[in-house]
Copies of this chain bind each other. A is one copy, B any other.
Amino acid sequence: MTTLSPIGPVAGQRKVRRATMNDVARLAGVSIKTVSRVVNDEPGVHPSTAERVLAAIDQLGFRRNLSARNLRRGSSTGTIGLVLEDVGNPFYSGVTRAVEEIARLRGRQVISGSSDEDPGRERELALEFCSRRVDGLLIVPAGLQHSYLVPEMRAGTPVVFLDRPAGDVVADTVLVDNIGGTVEAVTHLAAHGHRRIAFLGDAPDIFTANERLRGYREGCVRAGIGYHEELVAMGPHDESSVATTLQRLQSMREPATAVVAGNNRITVHILRALAGSAERPALVGFDDFELADLLSPPVTVIAHDASALGKAATDLLFARLDGDNSPPRRVVLPVRLVPRGSGEVHA
């Protein structure tokens, strides 16, 4: 039993060559093919032979080399590549979790990487994954150029974009209803009497930021309060820029009485900037976040489910792997406004 072999400062003994099927075969006194049969649970091996082989495997600590196996078999490597913006962001870690979950059910491992909103990095990661011959690719696009993926897609690697669409290829995409979300946010605020509603969004070259801005604009028009350029501040934002912006918005001749935040980070920045200040504008944030309901006032948000997004994208990917070759689909997941208080403050 391996379990009983002497354990100690293992770091001491360096680089014992890894056992191969050949080593196992020699020790068990069988051919390498028989070892392969045992390892792969193929039928046609005499129980007593199999037992000898298993003993040899255990004794040598053999573990089959998947590189070799994948190379030989040519088909699936049993891996899925996931390129996202930042695993550290709770939203994306929720997505990751969902992807992992489904991949697991389908016997796949997930390789992931964060692009940090850098198109070059996104490309580097995606192509690296392709070199590893992942079975499929899930990408949260950082850039607008995705033609680099065309050879990979042609070679049969399914690609699903999530959260944002691809720049210049036609492919499966799973999005959330960004426009509908901010329309609803503005409508909600207007219904509570607000006429000066500001929008703090991320950098406008980011798809979701731009869509949400469009929704904000449309919401303003629909609510009959008009669209005012001076009430909009697009990012990139950090804590201090958000604070400055809020001050500006509140010290206008006609101050903003309500704010729509373009994503979870901006919402948090706003909350921090507002902490302790008496004069709080009403607030609706895009993206739900943990503890939003426990703040005072509880934060009203446009909620959408990270795991639903991850699940939808992964399901789509596996459908492709299962042979579905219908035209590329675009799935738009609904969002919902969760009123909690911060958006129900009267003007």
A128–B109 contact, CB under 8 A? yes
Taking a contact as CB atoms closer than 8 A, the residue among B7, B9, B86 that contacts A150 in the complex is: B7
A148–B295 contact, CB under 8 A? no
A168–B7 contact, CB under 8 A? yes
Given contacts A11-B328, A170-B8, A328-B9, contact A114 B97 (CB under 8 A): yes
Given contacts A88-B93, A110-B113, contact A65 B7 (CB under 8 A): no
| A243–chain B nearest beta-carbon distance, Å | 14
B5–A61 contact, CB under 8 A? no
Q: Is A268 an interface residue (CB 8 A)?
A: yes
Complex: A254 Cα to B187 Cα, angstroms: 51
Complex: A67 Cα to B70 Cα, angstroms: 7
Complex: A7 Cα to B328 Cα, angstroms: 12
B71–A67 contact, CB under 8 A? yes
Complex: A296 Cα to B114 Cα, angstroms: 34
Given contacts A169-B7, A271-B291, A328-B11, contact A61 B93 (CB under 8 A): no
| A117–chain B nearest beta-carbon distance, Å | 14
Q: Is A3 an interface residue (CB 8 A)?
A: yes
Complex: A90 Cα to B291 Cα, angstroms: 13
Q: Is A250 an interface residue (CB 8 A)?
A: no
| A283–chain B nearest beta-carbon distance, Å | 13
Name which of A152-160, A221-229, A234-242 contacts chain B.
A152-160
Q: Is A322 an interface residue (CB 8 A)?
A: no
Interface core residue of A113, A129, A154 (most chain B CB under 10 Å) = A154
Taking a contact as CB atoms closer than 8 A, the residue among B93, B271, B289, B328 that contacts A87 in the complex is: B93
B127–A63 contact, CB under 8 A? yes
| Chain A 126-149 residues near chain B, CB threshold 8 A | 127-133, 147-148
Name which of A13-21, A190-198, A210-218 contacts chain B.
A13-21
Whose C-beta in chain B lies nearest to the C-beta of A127?
Answer: B63
Closest 9 pairs between A and B when the two form their complex, measured CB to CB: A61-B151, A93-B93, A88-B97, A10-B153, A67-B71, A67-B70, A67-B67, A18-B155, A66-B131
